[in-house]
């Protein structure tokens, strides 16, 4: 670059040359977009830069979910790729909500979108959203949208409802399955781990009578079979993503090949397990109190 008033500026074109780009070439390139070099030097606003970055993250997240290797776009130096991508999208939802003009239709859509993320993936952040949303909804002169959103927040479970079904889920009923076991899905062949169980109420129960169901009357129903009384579903996590699914036990095949489990798998393992016992090919559960006597046998 010839000495000029721009001698301290450096322009790079990594797609065409390894060195600096002459000013005349740069002006020629930007002219195709009806812009000038001077306009490119102006600093962008925080709102514009943040919004552009947030929309790029959203687009990358959507594109990554359609790729054969959905984690290829989010591999960083540290952390699991699936968790990194989920965290980036979560931060994007917050940024777009904060920068959005309040009390508009777009603002309401963004707020509901973020609420869905919090309820599904980040319930520990409920207090932040509650304080932020309710503070704006209760502000003087603000439209009252808070009443419709309060029911969407995560509610603390009633202690009287905790044992509604779990008392009947004994080790014999869920056998041969246990918390912490590693399995392969019989049909789709993906690797996962068991993190919980859900009992299915007998077919004779209805919405009004299930809470007062008497076990002694169970045998009185001619339509009640032993299969109905043993039905349950298994809550699982995947080895290669942050997906949590509830699956029928007939679709699972427990494995004992510890070589199939590597250190980069199961990004959500820390949410349910203390560690992985490689010798026994199972995870050590940290939620035994929710499913007593249902952990993998020693």
Q: What is the pLDDT of residue 11?
A: 63
Q: 193 - beta bridge partners?
A: 182, 237
CA distance 200 to 212: 16
Q: What is the pLDDT of residue 72?
A: 53
- Long-range pairs, 165-170, Cβ under 8 A, ≥24: 165/198, 165/199, 165/201, 166/199, 166/290, 166/291, 168/199, 169/197, 169/199, 169/232, 169/291, 169/294, 170/293
Instruction: Record the pTM.
Output: 0.50
pLDDT tens across the length of the chain (298 residues): 455 555 555 666 666 666 777 778 878 888 887 888 777 777 677 788 888 888 888 887 777 666 655 555 455 555 666 677 788 888 888 888 888 888 888 888 888 888 888 887 777 788 887 787 666 666 545 555 544 455 544 455 555 554 444 456 778 888 889 999 999 999 999 999 999 888 876 655 444 444 444 443 444 444 444 444 458 899 999 998 878 889 999 999 999 999 999 888 898 888 888 889 999 999 988 876 666 667 665 5
Q: What is the pLDDT of residue 261?
A: 92
What is residue 130's three-state secondary structure?
Answer: helix
Tokens at residue 276, please? Answer: 């992985």
Spatial CA neighbour of 27 closest among 49, 50, 4:
4
Q: What is the pLDDT of residue 183?
A: 96
Q: Which residues of 97-136 are buried (b: 16+ CB within 10 A; e: fewer)?
A: beebeeeeeebbebbeebbebbeebbeeebeebbeebeeb
Give CA separation, 213 vs 158, 162, 206, in Å. 20, 16, 10
Architecture of the domain spanning 166-211+223-285: Roll (2.30)
Q: How many CA atoms lie within 13 A of 263 on its CB side?
A: 2
Q: Domain segments of the chain: what residues?
A: 166-211+223-285
Helix H segments across 18-145? 23-31, 37-41, 46-64, 81-99, 105-120, 126-137
What is residue 146's three-state secondary structure?
Answer: helix
What are the residues whose beta carbons fall under 8 Å from the beta carbon of 195, sequence distance 6 or more? Answer: 179, 235, 236, 237, 244, 271, 272, 273, 285, 287
Per the listing, tokens 């993906």 go with 190
Q: What is the pLDDT of residue 50?
A: 84
CA distance 208 to 11: 72
């Amino acid at each position: 670059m010839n000495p000029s008033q721009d001698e301290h500026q450096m322009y790079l074109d990594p797609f065409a040359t390894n060195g600096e780009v002459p000013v005349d070439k740069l002006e020629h390139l930007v002219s195709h977009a009806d812009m000038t070099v001077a306009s490119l030097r102006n600093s962008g606003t925080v709102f514009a830069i943040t919004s552009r970055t947030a929309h790029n993250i959203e687009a990358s997240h959507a594109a990554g979910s359609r790729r054969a290797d959905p984690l290829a776009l989010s591999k960083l130096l540290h952390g699991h790729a699936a968790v990194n991508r989920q965290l980036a999208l979560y931060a994007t939802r917050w940024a777009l909500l904060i920068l959005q003009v309040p009390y508009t239709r777009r603002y309401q859509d963004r707020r509901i979108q973020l609420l869905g993320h919090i309820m599904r993936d980040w319930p520990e952040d409920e207090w932040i959203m509650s304080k932020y949303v309710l503070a704006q909804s209760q502000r003087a002169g603000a439209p009252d949208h808070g009443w419709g959103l309060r029911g969407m927040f995560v509610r603390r479970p009633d202690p009287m409802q905790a044992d509604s079904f779990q008392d009947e889920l004994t080790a014999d009923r869920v056998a041969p399955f246990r918390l912490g076991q590693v399995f392969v899905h019989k049909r789709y062949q993906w690797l996962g781990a068991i993190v919980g169980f859900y009992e299915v109420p007998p077919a004779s129960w209805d919405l009004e009578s299930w809470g007062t169901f008497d076990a002694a009357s169970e045998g009185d129903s001619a339509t009640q079979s032993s299969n109905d009384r043993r039905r349950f579903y298994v809550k699982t996590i995947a080895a290669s993503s942050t997906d949590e699914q509830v699956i029928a036990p007939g679709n699972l095949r427990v494995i004992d090949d510890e070589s199939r489990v590597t250190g980069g798998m199961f990004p959500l393992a820390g949410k349910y397990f203390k560690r992985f016992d490689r010798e026994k090919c199972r995870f050590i559960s940290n939620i035994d109190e929710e499913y007593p006597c249902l952990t993998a046998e020693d």
